[in-house]
Amino acid sequence: MSNRTTMTEFLLLGFSDIRELQILHFVVFLVLYPVSMVGNLLIITAIAYDHRLHTPMYFFLMNLSILDLGSISVTIPKSMVNSLMNTRSISYSGCVAQVFFFSCFVSANVALLTIMAYDRYVAICQPLHYEMVMNRGACVQMAASAWISGILISVLHTGNTFTISFCGGNTVDQFFCEIPQLLKLACSDSYLREVVVILFGVCLAFSCFVFIIMSYVQIFTTVLRISCEQGRHKAFSTCLPHLTVVSLFFCTGSFAYLKPTSSSASGLDLLVAVLYSVLPPMMNPIIYSMRNKEIKGVLSKWMCWRLFSNNKMSICLLR
């Protein structure tokens, strides 16, 4: 009988068995998680608050922040609880939920980054057709297609992963339920279907990456032809943050899924998982806010308004 019929939980590999290091891991994640949450929430608030940011580029950026919030909330809180409570267990249904939602958010992230590259391509290379091509209806359809593709791919991965037989125990060498690590537990004759699905997903992600690179080749070729230095600077300032986010996401993610899991050390697996699951959601708001004058201006205006309102309320209470 298949082990999956009797398995009720998995054991997640912690960062350390030493209690002091477990507390340190909890404290580090306690800092990283709120930073990521606050950064992405500020991006969402700024875009929703100011009507000047109601453009396709910022609409897609808001969706990206929502995806980042979801992906980091799937993995970090459970790991923090395990470190604090000195436990390693996660229920079978909890592991299924982690695989489903994490795959959904990551897959939708890939699709959305590709759409954002296309948006920048149309804005810079075909500016006269921008409003017609990137109209409101088209933007909503593109964003919806990214979410739907993420859900479909996630259903495919989750269904294939948890219909295989687990013969290698229930200890997952990762701080969350990651598909490559779950495949280590699979029987040798039952996991090939999921490996094929993973390869299919990698090919799709690589196709998106190639499309993004080709878009930016066209973009930079067009930008270099701009005679006005101010125009070149503005074009680069809107493209470089997105290109940085794409490079960070694809480099860390591809290293995690393309390296041979059977021969890699568990410590390296943990480090790579942190790089691609925690670092991009935390860095994306910083990258976009540091390089984007509009977002910095809206956030500064909003913070000043909040401070002014609080000071005014304090003065009224003192009276």
Query: What is the 3 state secondary structure string of 77-114?
Result: HHHHHHHHHCCCEEEHHHHHHHHHHHHHHHHHHHHHHH
Hey, CA dihedral for 214, 218, 219, 220, is it positive or negative? positive
- Residue bearing tokens 């309320």: 313
CATH level 3 topology of 3-292: Rhopdopsin 7-helix transmembrane proteins (1.20.1070)
Domain boundaries, the chain: 3-292
Rounded CA gap, 277 and 283, in Å? 11
pLDDT score recorded for residue 49:
81
pLDDT score recorded for residue 153:
92
Q: Going by DSSP bridges, is the β-strand pair 89-91/9-12 parallel, antiparallel, or unpaired?
A: antiparallel
Q: Is this structure's pTM higher than 0.75?
A: yes
pLDDT score recorded for residue 2:
45
Q: Tokens for 268, please give them.
A: 């390296």
Tens place of pLDDT per residue across the chain (319 aa): 344 446 788 988 877 778 888 888 899 999 999 999 998 998 898 888 888 888 898 999 999 999 999 999 999 999 999 888 888 899 999 999 999 999 999 999 999 999 999 999 999 888 889 999 999 999 999 999 999 999 999 998 898 888 887 887 888 888 899 888 888 887 766 566 667 777 787 888 889 989 999 998 898 888 888 777 776 777 777 777 778 888 877 877 777 666 655 545 566 777 778 888 888 888 888 887 766 667 767 767 766 766 665 555 444 444 4
